[in-house]
Amino acid sequence: MGETSVRVVLLEMSTSAVPLIYAACRQCYSAQFAGDVFAQAGTVPLAQQEEFVRKIVASGHESPLEHVKFTFAVEGVSRALTHQLVRHRIASYSQQSQRYVKAADFDYIVPPSVAADETLRRDFLACMEQAQAAYHKLLARYQALGKTGEAANQDARFVLPQAAETKIVITMNCRELRHFFQHRCCTRAQWEIRKLSDGMLAICKEKLSCVFSAAGAKCVSLGYCPEGEKFTCGRYPLKEQFLKKPA
- List residues with catalytic annotation: 184
Closest CA to 56 of 82, 30, 24, 32: 24
In three-state secondary structure terms, 226 is coil
Pairing status of strand 165-173 against strand 92-95? antiparallel
Q: What is the DSSP letter of 212?
A: H
Residues 10 and 21: beta-carbon distance below 8 Å: no
Contact between residue 229 and residue 223 where contact means Cβ atoms under 8 Å apart = no
Q: Which amino acid is at 37?
A: V
| Closest of 100, 89, 73, 54 to residue 211, by C-alpha | 54
